[in-house]
A = this chain, B = another copy of it.
Amino acid sequence: MQDIFREHIEKVIPLTDEEFAFVFSHFSYQRYKKRQYLIREDDHVEHAYFVVSGLLKLEYTDLSAKRHIVSFAMEDWWETDFMAYFNGTKATMSLQCIEDTDVLCLSLADYHKLCSGLKKMERFFLKKSNSGHIASQQRILSFLTSNAKERYDQLLQQYPSLFQRVPKTLLAAYLGISRETLSRLSY
């Protein structure tokens, strides 16, 4: 598990053994069961999570109680309600397990300690944040340019494994279409 995590970081910045030990010491390890919540709406958001194995959904519930999936988080992803995490505000989204999931947890205090203790990590998080921003922009573009069927195809092409791992109802909630429409797409 440390290996996966170390490799993940070293894809961006090389680390000595001591440096990695320092980095790793800021995290705690947690296992969650399917359907368990890591974050509930209105919670104080303690941690950002690195997904070691499993699958999470970041979900927003609107005024009419409809649920929308902002993001899936699979192996090798970082996830949390970032707005609440960084600003210390209450969670507007929930983070819940679709499968049993193992994560590494990083508190905001430890995040800051980590960044000041090892400047390389600031670059690491900058890189991650940049890629996240770019990925979000791509998702926005797919809303602008594509209809339901096209967005569905793009999603399957990008993350083929999702098709096996999550119910179609959730894929619909991610794509912004009704489950009925999604059901009628596959011809």
Chain A residues 124-154 with CB under 8 Å of chain B are 125-126, 129-130, 132-134, 136-137, 139-141, 143-145
The residues of B that contact A137 with a CB separation of less than 8 Å are: 70-71, 82-83, 136
Interface of A is mostly: helix
Flag the segment in A1-9, A60-68, A155-163 that touches B: A60-68
Q: Cβ of B140 and Cβ of A70 under 8 Å apart?
A: yes
Q: How many copies does the complex hold?
A: 2
Q: Cβ of B62 and Cβ of A130 under 8 Å apart?
A: no
Instruction: Using CB atoms and an 8 Å cutoff, list the residues of chain A in contact with chain B.
Output: 60, 62, 66, 68-71, 82-83, 86, 115, 119, 122-123, 125-126, 129-130, 132-134, 136-137, 139-141, 143-145, 173, 176
Additional A-B contact list (19), CB under 8 Å, known A71-B137, A86-B134, A140-B143: A60-B144, A60-B145, A62-B145, A66-B145, A68-B141, A68-B144, A68-B145, A70-B137, A70-B141, A70-B144, A82-B130, A86-B130, A122-B122, A126-B129, A129-B130, A129-B133, A136-B139, A136-B140, A140-B140
